[in-house]
């Protein structure tokens, strides 16, 4: 069965009854699930299942449960999710090119694919192709509920198959698309029937175009491609080539201008000095010298090549909220790697979908560093009077404290050079504890091996309780181990029973390496196993927060399997952490989904009854 295909449009449809879905950047695949086998057919008829065996494993686990519904045919997108509204197509391509079974298995153990379903084509062998799209969507939702599948795309959820919801509110989904840097939106007529193999105007795709102002640099006489670039310092930085989007008249005029004004020829390439400026649409830029899906927008007669800069390209590429005007992007914050304010803000933008769930509904204690490592820093608890109206605050312990619940607040704070983000262990909506955190604090970074040792012992302790735990670097010299707790269940008194027990076990197990002595002068070179910090009114640095005084290192989540003698906090810079997220995803992605599965009540009972370890 060939998939139904949408028609590209630069504007949403103006008339008719439409539903809208987030468009994910992946491999389109039609899932054929029968009583005996399953296939995932690509657009060119290839079965993708052998390349993504985690999907097959998931279907096998659901086989008995699904029998009353089989055979089923579902339409969807095979993805590797970066956040709940954005897929990482580059990493999916890498998975798709893997050849050996061992490499494929290693990859999906760390970062499994997700098959996002958006249409139901057959149920119990009965075709739904002539059923209206809105009704097909309702039937699909019922199937997903019956099978216990995730009803929203969710990174870290154990459900490999997840449902893509639709909405009639275009403005709301457009905001979501922009904030999450999604690939785009698909608009679908509510009454549209399934049309296999056809590109139809009943489905419209609206891409989340980015725009770059650039200038022409060359023309390829062989294939008709134009090359563009921007100025980086005094050199030309190439953004690759493009051919799509121009009418024949514009293409002919540009070709003639380059032929008549070229200063150099290399084979079929004619080079021109920067003089002709234009705007291009594009979907994505991966840091290399080629825009993804570049598309001509317009000639810019109103700007000069000198205004087409790499810095302006980076600002536009990040898609900062329109409410935020980036100031002093060139300011150097950390000397190592010459990290600028713009680098820091782009890092915050990249990590926003992973940071915001931890900041949401928690009063923030901020560390402001107006000059990075080169000047004084100060704590900020009160929301300044100059804050924009969209910045939320709450009266908390006599301070009017900022609550960061959205992207524009986070980016406003970043532009104010709020570098560090410290959060309490509970939200403003609940008196109960949200998570337990143990702080593993060695005397200095030279003794980081003590933190490695403590974390691995602690992991065994938590495993003995069957507790789900996550680990991150402190961003300085230590590590922090997190235990998510079910919402609105456990008090400070109850968590204190657990933290005291674990702390006592650790110092009894290895008294030569660990201590719970608060005074530094009395620790005698041992790692401080800090459980006292986990208390009402105390705070911990948020996951992915940058640390100012540690030369801009990051309080970075890591995977447990990464903990070995080669682990070093100094490797976790803004640049390296961004690369890690792109390659491996977020080690904390399952944090919030694990809360309700956490057997913490049983752990408390074991401690109280003395049934330990």
Active-site residues, by number, are 23
Q: What is the SS3 assignment for 68?
A: helix
Torsion of CA 260, 266, 269, 270, to 10 degrees: -20
- Phi and psi at 182, nearest 5°, equal -65, 165
Q: What is the SS3 assignment for 71?
A: coil
Residues 122 and 72 sit within 8 Å (Cβ to Cβ): yes
**What is d(CA 501, CA 312) in angstroms, rounded to the nearest whole number?**
54
Where helices occur in 467-534 by DSSP H, the ranges are 492-509
**What is d(CA 212, CA 314) in angstroms, rounded to the nearest whole number?**
9
Residue 75 parent element (H or E): strand 72-79
Where are any strands of DSSP class E within 355-417?
A: 365-368, 378-380, 392-396, 399-403
| 201-235: b (≥16 Cβ within 10 Å) or e | ebbbbbbbebbbbbbbbbbeeeeebbbbbbbeeee
Residues 6+ apart with CB under 8 A from 190: 17, 18, 19, 132, 133, 134
Whose CA is closest to 456, among 557, 533, 530, 564? 564
Q: Given phi > 0 = left and psi -120 to 50 = alpha, else beta, which region is 401? A: beta
CA 473 from chain centre, in angstroms, equals 19
**What is d(CA 440, CA 449) in angstroms, rounded to the nearest whole number?**
11
Q: What is the SS3 assignment for 141?
A: helix
Residues 449 and 526 sit within 8 Å (Cβ to Cβ): no
Residues 6+ apart with CB under 8 A from 266: none
Residues 6+ apart with CB under 8 A from 3: 28, 30, 43, 75, 196, 197
Locate 416 and state its tokens. 């104010």
């Amino acid at each position: 069965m060939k998939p139904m295909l949408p028609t590209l449009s630069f504007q949403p449809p103006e008339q008719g009854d439409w539903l809208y879905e987030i468009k994910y950047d992946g491999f389109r695949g039609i899932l054929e699930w029968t009583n005996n086998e399953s296939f995932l057919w690509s657009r060119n008829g290839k079965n993708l299942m052998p390349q993504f065996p985690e999907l097959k494993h998931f279907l096998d686990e659901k086989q008995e449960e699904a029998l009353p519904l089989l055979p089923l045919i579902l339409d969807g997108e095979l993805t590797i999710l970066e956040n709940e509204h954005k897929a990482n197509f580059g990493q999916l391509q890498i998975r798709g090119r893997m050849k050996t079974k061992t490499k494929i298995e290693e990859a999906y153990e760390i970062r499994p694919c997700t098959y996002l379903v958006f249409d139901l084509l057959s149920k119990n062998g009965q075709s739904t192709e002539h059923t209206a799209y809105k009704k097909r969507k309702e039937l699909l939702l019922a199937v997903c509920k019956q099978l216990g599948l995730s009803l929203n795309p969710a990174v870290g959820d154990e459900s490999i198959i997840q449902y893509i919801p639709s909405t009639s509110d275009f403005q709301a989904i457009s905001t979501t698309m922009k904030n999450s840097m999604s690939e785009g939106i698909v608009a679908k007529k509510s009454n549209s029937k399934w049309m296999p193999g056809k590109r139809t105007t009943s489905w419209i795709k609206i891409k989340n175009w980015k725009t770059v102002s650039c200038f022409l640099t060359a023309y390829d006489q062989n294939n008709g491609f134009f090359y563009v670039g921007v100025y980086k310092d005094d050199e030309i930085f190439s953004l690759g080539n493009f051919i799509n989007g121009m009418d024949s008249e514009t293409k002919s005029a540009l070709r003639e201008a380059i032929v008549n004004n070229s200063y150099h020829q290399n084979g079929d390439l004619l080079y021109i000095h920067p003089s002709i400026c234009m705007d291009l649409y594009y979907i994505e830029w991966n840091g290399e010298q080629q825009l993804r899906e570049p598309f001509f927008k317009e000639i810019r007669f109103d700007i000069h090549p000198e205004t087409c800069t790499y810095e302006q390209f980076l600002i536009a590429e990040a898609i900062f909220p329109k409410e935020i005007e980036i100031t002093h992007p060139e300011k150097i914050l950390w000397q190592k790697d010459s990290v600028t304010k713009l680098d820091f803000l782009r890092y915050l933008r990249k990590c926003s979908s992973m940071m915001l769930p931890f900041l949401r509904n928690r009063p923030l204690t901020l560390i402001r560093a107006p000059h990075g490592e080169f000047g004084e820093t100060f704590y900020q608890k009160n929301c300044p009077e100059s804050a924009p109206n969209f910045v939320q605050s709450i009266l908390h312990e006599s301070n009017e404290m900022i609550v960061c619940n959205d992207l524009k607040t986070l980016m406003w704070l970043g532009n104010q050079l709020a570098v560090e983000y410290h959060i309490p262990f509970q939200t403003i909506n609940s008196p109960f504890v949200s998570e337990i955190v143990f702080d593993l604090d060695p005397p200095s970074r030279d003794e980081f091996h003590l933190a490695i040792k403590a974390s691995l012992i602690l992991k065994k302790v938590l495993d003995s309780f069957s507790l789900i735990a996550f680990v991150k670097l402190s961003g300085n010299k230590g590590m922090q181990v997190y235990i998510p707790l079910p919402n609105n269940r456990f008090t400070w008194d109850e968590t204190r029973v657990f933290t005291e027990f674990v702390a006592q076990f650790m110092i009894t197990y290895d008294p030569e390496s660990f201590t719970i002595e608060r005074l530094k002068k009395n620790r005698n070179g041992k790692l401080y196993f800090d459980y006292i910090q986990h208390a009402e009114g105390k705070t911990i640095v948020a996951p992915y927060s940058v640390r100012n005084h540690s030369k801009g290192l990051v309080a970075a989540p890591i995977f447990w399997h990464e903990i070995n003698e080669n682990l070093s906090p100094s490797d976790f810079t803004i640049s390296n952490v961004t690369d890690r997220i792109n390659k491996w995803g977020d080690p904390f992605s399952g944090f919030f989904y694990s809360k309700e599965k956490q057997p913490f009540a049983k752990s408390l009972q074991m401690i109280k009854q003395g049934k330990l370890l």
